[in-house]
Amino acid sequence: MTKKKIIKNIPGQVQKQQPGIESRMKPQPLSAPGDKATDKKLRNKVAIISGGDSGIGRATALDFVKEGATVVIAYLNEDQDAKDTEAMIGEMEGICLLLKGDISKPAFCNKVATKTLEAFGRIDIIVSNAAIQYVQDDFMSITKEQLERTFQTNVFGAFYLTQACLPHLKAGASIIYTSSVTAFRGSHHLIDYAATKAALIGLCRSLSAALADKNIRVNAVAPGPIWTPLIPASFPKDEVATFGKDTPMKRCGQPNEVAPCFTFLASDAASYITGQVLHPNGGEIIA
């Protein structure tokens, strides 16, 4: 097994847009699968990944392709990141379809499902990963516009994408939501974001019960501090420089350390797992 590279020190840096641009980050997040060996756990599967252009979404797309899946990447407006991801998949001799649009809009989610079916004839895996976050140290500073935009992207987008794809899922399909450690321990400066990520846990657990008799599994991944474009796009430079240092492992995680969680949950290896949450968070204990 190939030993994964570890980055312990991140220099302070800031980006002024959400959800951030990966190509501007220093150092670049580690997205490529750490282990090149594969038994093609996702052979012939078609996966839709929202926010798959960068960060955890990109790493998940690459890991899925390594395991034999075809991927459809829905992204907002980060064209260069999306093209970079497409190029990486091409280098792996994988198949990727890019779809640009706002995941918080039902019409775009319907388009994603339709275009996927037109191109590949099936949908086997949904990874609802797209998210935004805005730091506010004062609860009263969270504006109506910020609150609505955060919920529309992080929660409504997950609902709409699931609703658009669900009629086309067959037994054995997998739905995976990207939650967060903040859903379990809270965050005083990401209150609205933490609330959206907690909502996804409720969605995961409830929908898993609703779909269990159809053998469609629903799970979630709740990462801790991971080096993605959301970080320099959200926090001041000094906090970026110490990001992840408060974990038991004393560092932030890399996207390719989280992606295998999604691959496992999407695969038949997790055939008896539904309604559950995986916690790649650097050692924080979640009761």
Mean pLDDT of 148-172: 99
Residue 31: inside a domain: yes
Of residues 271 and 241, more confidence is placed in: 271
Instruction: In whole angstroms, give the CA distance from residue 84 to residue 88.
Output: 6
Confidence of residue 37 (pLDDT cuts 50, 70, 90): low
39 pLDDT exceeds 50?
yes
Say what the pLDDT of residue 36 is: 66
- With contact defined as beta carbons under 8 Å apart, do 29 and 5 qualify? no
**Structural domain range at position 243:** 22-278
Say what the pLDDT of residue 11 is: 76
Domain count, the chain: 1
Residue 142: inside a domain: yes
Say what the pLDDT of residue 13 is: 75
Of residues 194 and 229, more confidence is placed in: 194
Least reliable range by pLDDT among 15-19, 40-44, 215-219, 278-282: 15-19
Question: Looking at the annotation, which residues are catalytic?
Answer: 193
Instruction: In whole angstroms, give the CA distance from residue 7 to residue 253.
Output: 8
Residue 283: inside a domain: no
Say what the pLDDT of residue 247 is: 94
Say what the pLDDT of residue 209 is: 99
169 pLDDT exceeds 70?
yes
Residue 173: inside a domain: yes
Helices 106-120/157-165 angle, 10° precision: 40
Angle at 124 between CA 121 and CA 130, to 5 degrees: 110
pLDDT tens digit string along 22-35? 777 777 777 677 66
Task: Count CB atoms within 10 A of the CB of residue 132.
Answer: 23
Residue 264: inside a domain: yes
Confidence of residue 20 (pLDDT cuts 50, 70, 90): confident
Instruction: In whole angstroms, give the CA distance from residue 108 to residue 110.
Output: 5
Query: If we measure between CA atoms, which residue out of 219, 218, 227, 187 comes closest to residue 5?
Result: 227
pLDDT exceeding 70 applies to what percent of the chain?
Answer: 95
Instruction: In whole angstroms, give the CA distance from residue 72 to residue 52.
Output: 8
Residue 16: inside a domain: no
Least reliable range by pLDDT among 3-7, 113-117, 229-233, 258-262: 3-7
Residue 225: inside a domain: yes
CATH number at residue 162: 3.40.50.720
Say what the pLDDT of residue 279 is: 98
Mean pLDDT of 77-83: 95
Confidence of residue 167 (pLDDT cuts 50, 70, 90): very high
For the chain, the average pLDDT equals: 93
8 pLDDT exceeds 80?
no
190 pLDDT exceeds 90?
yes
3 pLDDT exceeds 60?
no
Say what the pLDDT of residue 230 is: 75
Mean pLDDT of 97-117: 99
Residue 250: inside a domain: yes
